[in-house]
Structures are given as structure tokens and as C-alpha cells.
Amino acid sequence: GGLCMLDAEDGSCISYSNDPEDPNTISDNIVFSIYEDPQGRFWIGTNSGLNMFYPATGSFRRFGVNEGLANEVIYGVLPDNNNCIWLSTNLGICRFNLETFEVKNFDMNDGLQSNEFNGGSYHKGASGKLYFGGVYGLNVFDPESIEPVKNVPEVTLTKLEVLGKEVLIAGIDLEEEFEEHPGRIVEFKENFYTYENVTYMEEIFLDYRHRFFSVEFAALNNLQSGDLHYSYIMENLDTDWNNSGNRNYVSYTNMKAGTYLLKVVAENSDGFRSDPPMLLSIVITPPIWLSWWFILLEILFSTAIVVMIYIYLLKSRTNRLLTHQNQKISQANEALRKSEKNLMELNATKDKFFSIISHDLKNPFSSLLSISDLMVDSFDDTEEEDHKAGFKKINQSVKHLLDLLENLLTWSRSQRGRIKCDPVRFNLSSLVQENINLHRLLAEKKGIMLLSTEQDEVYAYGDRDMINSVIRNLVTNAVKFTNRDKKVEIQLKPGEKEIEVSIVDEGIGITSEQLVKLFRIDEKFKSTGTAGEKGTGLGLIICREFVEKNGGEITVQSAPGKGSVFSFTVPMAN
């Protein structure tokens, strides 16, 4: 089965078959008819829809019920002279526009001998007439003579139900009930009655207890009733027309008291509507508690109660207002006192911090000045070894000063929000190895072994630059405060949701008095490394801020002479 395309020049043949997984293949392997249009497109009728085939690309486009066809069994495909093709199916004949792909369906209501046609039974005559053979005979027509049906019969009310019961015509014994309103619906012995046949009624009156009703309608004397679609709108309830399709009734439940106007029109398959629409005025009478005089009494009674409540509330409102204002003033004063206290504390902290920084900046400059003065005054009288020692002191002072300024600049940028946390997924193991390589030369000068115990790659989620700064500061401190022939180890401990990074050294350790000052900006914390390196503690303050910005926590465990373990956590990447 399927489709074969034969090359007339070389005799080669290309086969096309259906692939259920590929919508660009032919829709079915059973082919009934083929037609090539002036554009070189092939229109192929199959057992499962119409296919448009492009020989240049070898791809198919499918058309079926979802695209408007009445049926997907396409027996015959014939062109007319108006850029359309006509399709015979198992559910009538379809007119398909080759440019817009619009579909118009015809069935027995339009005069066909049957809705079902036969395969191979189709022909276009020299006059332009089309011939289609069906199970009950032959249909012959000229496409030029097919015109849209413009006449649509008016819609008529055919049935009315209230509370699920059909409204009947009343007998003589109920005539008095309709003297005030002929359109009134009367309930009598569990049935509902009206004065005349509902077909002739233009207005009905319903008690509020009977506001559950349905209306049935129809376009009478119409040979094409099967193609009709109904639309309706209940004015004072609906905001737009409702399309009910072939359904010729509409139901309403629990409607409010009031006056409504039901409009119904019928529309045929050519898009023409019945005119004028069916009109039915529906009046639902209100219950006694919704009548005007009852509502007036309710308003007067409610007004009297409101006035009395207002007088009562007016007397106590002033006291409550004064009490509330006093509370707000007290709260404002308390908030002002707290703000003043916090501001004073912040200013004191800032002053103390800058005092510490000024002192730390002064020391390196004093050392530089002293050494430079000494070398200027006695350069020629001192030995070369003394020169080297002096230059070494100058170098250490400059390095310490540069490290202090770099940390101070980083801390200042962080406080002013100039450093933004930009979390990404990154290789934490690789970052640790980078820092080991960075500090290896410094560690080797002191005879310190710098290593990492993590073998597998570990991925974290955070700001890579911030985490790198934290690791760099902690490793620098570990090397600085560790004696010769010792080791510094970086450990990674992955957990379920976060990774613990620990920098473990065998250094000089930290006293309990110093531990409480490590991460506080208002406390002076200075220490000297095992090779005379200087430290200020500002780097640890930056570490804490960067770790917290990445959702982690930093801790320290240390004792004098037993080394230190600085640990922090960082979220694990998914």
C-alpha cells in the first residue's frame, strides 16, 4: 500500500507510506484518487483523509474532520473552474477551496441520493459538470450553479416547560385566572397551564417559585433543518449571543425577579440567519419581601437602627480616637528612641572600626619611614646583609599594607552594595585545586605541605568569585599561622543539600579570648604569623559576609598549640 512516484525518464520509483509517528507522511496507505492542481501540488484521497503532497520536498499535509471535512474516507477528487476541488466521502460531498482551505459540506438534505459514495465512481464532464456515484444512484451537478441558500425560515416557540413539566393549554374552568394577564403561567393540581398555545405567545409571567424553566424552539418548513444552528441571547442576563449548535432548546434556573427578553435565531451552513428573530418576553414576579412597599419598610427600619447605632458610636468614638492617637504617639516615640540608640551604636562601631584601621595603616607606614630613614642616614656604613634585611622589612610592610588595603576596599564595596551575589553552578573541587596551586609556592617556602583530600568532583551553587575569595583568605591565614614542616588540608564534605568546606591547619591556634573577636568589626584583632607575617582580621569579616550572602554559615574550632579548623557551608548544585 501507499503511494509510488515513477520517474518517466529513468524509470526509478519512490515509495511513500504512512508512518503513525510522523505527521508529515501520507495519512493512510489505502489511496482512492489523485489530482494535480495548476501549482504542481498533488491532492490525494485516502481511507483516512485528504493529503496535499509537495513532490519537491516529499512531505505531506493532512486534512480531516478537524479541518472541517464531513468524513475522512475520500473516494473521489474532482476540480471545478473556481479553484476548488470536490470530494466524495462516506458522509456526503465536500467542496474544498485550494487557496483558503475552507470547506463546505453537502448531504442528503441538499439533494444527494445518499450520504455514502463509492470508490472509483467520479468523473468531470466536458461541460464542467461533476458526476459522483453513490450507493443509491448517481449525483450530477454543475458547480457554477451551486449558490448559497439565503432564505432561512423564522424560528417559532414550540414548547415551554416549568419545573420540568410541560405547560398545557388551560380549560374553561381556569379562564378567570388569566383575566389580568393572558400570558400568566398558572399552577393547578401540580401541573402548569397557559391561556393559549405557546406557539402564539409573545409574553409570559412566572411566579418567583417557578423560575426554573426551559424553552424549545424550531425553524419550521425547512428542508435543510439538519444544517441549521441556533443562537440565543437572554437580554438583561446574557452579555452576548450563545451558540447552541443543533440543540433547539435552552434552560434557565434560579433566575432573579425582573423582565427579560429571549431572542432566538437560526443560521444555515452558508452563514445566513433568520430575520426577524423569535422574541419572547419573560416576566418573573418578585416575592413579597422584594416588593417595593416591603423594601421601603425595610429601609425605614434599617435607617432607624443605623441612626441609633450612630449616636451610640459617636459618643465613644472620640475617646477611642484619643486613646489610639496616644498609643501611636507612644509607639512613635519608642521607635524614635530605638532608632537613636541604634544610630549611636552604629556610629560608635564605625568610629572604633576606623580607629582600628587607622592604627593598622599607621604601623606599616611607621616601619617604612623608620627603615628608610635608617638606610638613608647609614647606608654606606652598613653591611650588605643589613641592606637585605632592611629591604626585606620594607617588602613585608608593603605586602601587609597592600593586603590591608585590598581587604578594606573589598569590605567597603560589599557594604555599599557594589558586590552583587550572582549564584551559578560551578566545580568546587576545581576551585579548591586552583587555590592550592596559588598558595603552593608560599607554603613550600615555609616547608608546609598543602593538600586536598577530595578525589571526586563536587559541584556547588553560589557566587564563584565570593567563594573563591573566602577559600583564598582562609588558606592564606592557615599558611601564615602554621609552623614549618606541618601541613594544611582542605576538606570537602558533601551533604544532602549543602557542602561543608573545611581548612584544617596544624598552626599555633587561637585563644578563646581571640575567638570571640574574630568576626566582629568593632573589636581589634591583630596577630603575627609564624614567619612574622602581619594580620588584621578584616579578611575573616569579609569571609563571613560572603558566606552568608551565599546562604551558608562559617564556624571555627581552635585551641592554642593545636591548630585551627575553619569551616563554612555552601549550597550543593542540583
Q: What are phi and psi of 9, to 5 degrees?
A: -85, -50
Q: What are phi and psi of 211, to 5 degrees?
A: -85, 20
* Dist CA 104 CA 115 (whole Å): 14
Contacts 24+ apart (CB under 8 A), 140-148: 143/80, 143/81, 143/82, 143/84, 143/86, 143/95, 144/80, 144/81, 144/82, 146/95, 148/270, 148/271, 148/272
Question: Which has more pLDDT, 282 or 211?
Answer: 282
Q: Which residue has the cell 418578585?
A: 286
* Dist CA 212 CA 209 (whole Å): 8
- Domain 420-571 belongs to what topology? Heat Shock Protein 90 (3.30.565)
From 287, 242, 290, select the one nearest 262 (Cα to Cα). 242
Q: Which residue has the cell 550543593?
A: 572
Every domain of the chain with CATH number 3.30.565.10 lies at 420-571
pLDDT of residue 531: 57
* Dist CA 226 CA 248 (whole Å): 11
DSSP label at residue 290: G
* Dist CA 94 CA 103 (whole Å): 7
pLDDT at 370 over 80: no
Contact criterion met (CB below 8 Å) for 536 and 360: yes
- DSSP-derived pairing of the beta strands 92-97 and 103-106: antiparallel
Question: Which has more pLDDT, 561 or 262?
Answer: 262
DSSP notation for 93-136? EEEEETTT--EEEE-GGGT-S-S-EEEEEEEE-TTS-EEEEETT
In terms of average pLDDT, the best of 4-8, 344-348, 564-568 is 564-568
Out of 148-157, 197-206, 296-305, least confident range: 148-157
Q: Which residues, in sequence order, are CB contacts of 420 under 8 Å at separation 6+?
A: none
Question: Which has more pLDDT, 220 or 481?
Answer: 481
In terms of residues, how long is the chain? Answer: 574
pLDDT at 477 over 70: yes
Q: Over the Cα atoms of the chain, what is R_g? A: 47
Question: Which has more pLDDT, 539 or 440?
Answer: 440
From 78, 58, 183, 182, select the one nearest 128 (Cα to Cα). 78
Percentage with pLDDT > 90 across the chain: 41
pLDDT of residue 493: 93
The four Cα atoms 139, 141, 147, 149 give a dihedral, to 10 degrees, of -20
Task: Tell me how far apart the 2 most distant CA atoms of the chain are, in Å.
Answer: 146
* Dist CA 381 CA 392 (whole Å): 18
For residue 275, list its beta bridge partners. none
Contact criterion met (CB below 8 Å) for 206 and 231: no
HEC letters along 545-574: HHHHHCCCCEEEEECCCCCEEEEEEEEECC
pLDDT at 415 over 60: no
pLDDT of residue 67: 94
Pick the CATH number of 155-290 from 3.20.20.140, 2.60.40.10, 3.10.20.740, 3.40.50.720: 2.60.40.10
Split at pLDDT 50, 70, 90, the class of 219 is confident
Out of 27-36, 219-228, 235-244, 404-413, least confident range: 404-413
pLDDT at 555 over 90: yes
Cell of 206: 412566572
Average pLDDT over residues 461-489: 90
Average pLDDT over residues 240-244: 93
DSSP notation for 12-28? -EEEE---TT-TTS-S-
Average pLDDT over residues 335-346: 79
Split at pLDDT 50, 70, 90, the class of 151 is low
Mean pLDDT of the chain: 83
Please report the beta strands in 476-563, taking only residues with DSSP state E, as ranges in sequence order. 487-494, 498-505, 527-528, 534-535, 554-558
Out of 28-37, 46-55, 198-207, 515-524, least confident range: 515-524
pLDDT of residue 264: 95
pLDDT of residue 9: 85
Every domain of the chain with CATH number 2.130.10.10 lies at 3-145
DSSP label at residue 277: P
End-to-end Cα distance, the chain: 51
Contact criterion met (CB below 8 Å) for 93 and 112: yes
Instruction: Give the count of alpha carbons within 13 A of 444, CB side only.
Output: 6
pLDDT of residue 402: 59
pLDDT at 223 over 60: no
- State the architecture of 3-145 in CATH terms: 7 Propeller (2.130)
Split at pLDDT 50, 70, 90, the class of 539 is confident
The four Cα atoms 71, 76, 82, 84 give a dihedral, to 10 degrees, of 40
Percentage with pLDDT > 70 across the chain: 79
pLDDT at 334 over 60: yes
HEC letters along 341-390: HHHHHHHHHHHHHHHHHHHHHHHHHHHHHHHHHHHHHHCCCCCHHHHHHH
Split at pLDDT 50, 70, 90, the class of 150 is low
Average pLDDT over residues 302-328: 88
Average pLDDT over residues 390-394: 63
Distance of CA 340 to the CA centre of its chain: 46
Q: Which residues, in sequence order, are CB contacts of 364 under 8 Å at separation 6+?
A: 397, 398, 400, 401, 404, 534
pLDDT at 171 over 80: no
pLDDT at 107 over 90: no
Q: Give me the amino acid identity at 402.
A: L
pLDDT of residue 541: 81
pLDDT of residue 232: 95
Q: Give me the amino acid identity at 205.
A: F
